[in-house]
Amino acid sequence: MIPDARGLPRASPHPVSKRMHMSPSTTDPRSAKAVVELKGVVKRFASFTALRQMDLTIREGEFFTMLGASGCGKTTTLRLIAGFELPTEGQILIAGQDVSDVPAHLRPVHTVFQNYALFPHLSVLDNVAFPLKVHRVAKPERMERARAALDLVQMGNFADRRPSQLSGGQQQRVALARALVNEPRVLLLDEPLGALDLKLRKEMQAELKAMQRRLGITFIFVTHDQEEALTMSDRIALMKGGEIIQLDTPSGLYDRPASAYVADFIGETNMVPARILSSDAQGTMVEAMGGQLRVAGSFDQPAGTEVKLAFRPERVGEAVSETDNSVEGRLADIEFIGTDLRMTHHMADGSRIVLRRQNSGLAVPDLGEIRKLSFRPKDLRIFGL
């Protein structure tokens, strides 16, 4: 990277064809250095606070996702990094430098939008070459780099078409090529797959992820689709009401949700009422679903406290011995969903829980049967009310 006039690192002037076929980055994003930092960032629109006191470090080469329900502030965060909005308070650093007074088009980032934003009157090749024209790259180099970027997204054969002659997925690939042609340090992607049908979306997820690994560019991705976030990301910031409520790896969010909201937002969760019976360093005993269960870890509240007990449907076992940590439930419904079976049970305390098991061809129990359902203490989580 060479510094530009403001001392900001910017992309190398080498043709994309030479740089974009480099071998995969060997840097582990977990130990890489910070590339985007938000320090105490607050964003208010008139009297409405869209972001509250956000502190965030995104590392070089990371696939970082902002996930959350509509209106939680994901796009606002992305727009602040891009420079389309300015923070009301706080500081944004890119590659260690405060970019507060650097306009959007001079920041070493590029944004890919859901609606592609391609120029309809330009060919695919000219669309991709456009950012280089803005930066006054000479025509032969511009075309060479644009062709290389199109090859990268497997659109080399479509260079002469107009955007209107492409499918949605193809237009999104062109938008990606245009974003990559300038070799940004950070690629900002705002629901880039939102307009695609499910099958194409899945294909593009895999392609995007592979491309990110290959190029080693930091991707900051915005989505409200939790499955998409879990599949693609190195880390996910789960946002709610203008705040990050948990920042973690996909497995951390899924297996160790920090709150009932996170457990409920990510994946399917059974959440039943429970009461603390005792708790010490060895574990916690709760009364739930008409029985008693052992939960790993201590819970810092006195016996008698009402809580919520949470667990994933695929972590409910079908008990085999008396020593299992188990409760009884009546099988009320079985749903076939191809690879899996979802079995709904009615419990003695009136709660309903779902057990999910692979559709492996084993015998299926009869509806109405009373069954023992077992739990590993570490698969149960307790949340305050």
Under rule CB under 6 A, residue 45 binds ligand ATP? yes
Under rule CB under 6 A, residue 82 binds ligand ATP? no
**Alpha-carbon gap, residue 172 to 180, rounded angstroms:** 12
**Alpha-carbon gap, residue 158 to 224, rounded angstroms:** 31
Stretch that binds ligand ATP, among 66-74, 99-107, 230-238, 289-297 (CB under 6 A): 66-74
Under rule CB under 6 A, residue 241 binds ligand ATP? no
Under rule CB under 6 A, residue 54 binds ligand ATP? no
Cα distance from N-terminal residue to C-terminal residue, the chain: 51
**How many residues in the shown chain lie near ligand ATP by CB under 6 A?**
12
Torsion angles phi and psi, residue 132, rounded to 5: -75, -35
Q: Residue from 59, 74, 110, 235 that binds ligand ATP (CB under 6 A)?
A: 74
Residue 365 is given by DSSP the state: P
Under rule CB under 6 A, residue 321 binds ligand ATP? no
Q: Residue from 71, 168, 241, 377 that binds ligand ATP (CB under 6 A)?
A: 71
CA 384 to chain centre: 26
CA 65 to chain centre: 4
Under rule CB under 6 A, residue 41 binds ligand ATP? no
Under rule CB under 6 A, residue 224 binds ligand ATP? yes
Torsion angles phi and psi, residue 18, rounded to 5: -85, -30
Under rule CB under 6 A, residue 47 binds ligand ATP? no
- CA distances to 119, 170, 286, 308 from 302, rounded to whole Å, are 64, 59, 12, 15
Q: Residue from 75, 172, 325, 326 that binds ligand ATP (CB under 6 A)?
A: 75
Under rule CB under 6 A, residue 81 binds ligand ATP? no
For 105, the token pair is: 């088009």
Task: Give 62 or 191: the residue with its C-beta nearer to ligand ATP.
Answer: 191
The contacts of residue 240 (CB under 8 Å, 6+ apart) are: 68, 69, 72, 261
Under rule CB under 6 A, residue 284 binds ligand ATP? no
Stretch that binds ligand ATP, among 44-52, 226-234, 293-301, 322-330 (CB under 6 A): 44-52
Under rule CB under 6 A, residue 83 binds ligand ATP? no
Stretch that binds ligand ATP, among 68-76, 192-200, 256-264, 297-305 (CB under 6 A): 68-76
Task: Give 74 or 381: the residue with its C-beta nearer to ligand ATP.
Answer: 74
Stretch that binds ligand ATP, among 70-78, 151-159, 207-215, 377-385 (CB under 6 A): 70-78
User: Kindly report the CA angle at 309 between 304 and 313, in degrees rounded to 5?
Assistant: 160
Contact by Cβ (8 Å): 145, 177: no
Under rule CB under 6 A, residue 119 binds ligand ATP? no
Task: Give 235 or 345: the residue with its C-beta nearer to ligand ATP.
Answer: 235
- CA distances to 49, 256, 285, 325, 380 from 288, rounded to whole Å, are 40, 20, 10, 12, 11
- The string of DSSP letters for 94-141 reads ETTEE-TTS-GGGSSEEEE-TT----TTS-HHHHHHHHHHHTT--HHH
Q: Residue from 47, 70, 251, 323 that binds ligand ATP (CB under 6 A)?
A: 70
Under rule CB under 6 A, residue 65 binds ligand ATP? no
Q: Residue from 16, 62, 65, 73 that binds ligand ATP (CB under 6 A)?
A: 73
Rounded (10°) CA dihedral 131, 134, 137, 140:
70
Task: Give 72 or 146: the residue with its C-beta nearer to ligand ATP.
Answer: 72
Residue 134 identity: V
Write down the least CB distance from residue 76 to ligand ATP, Å. 3
Write down the least CB distance from residue 233 to ligand ATP, Å. 16
**Binding positions for ligand ATP, rule: CB under 6 A:** 45, 48, 50, 68, 70-76, 224
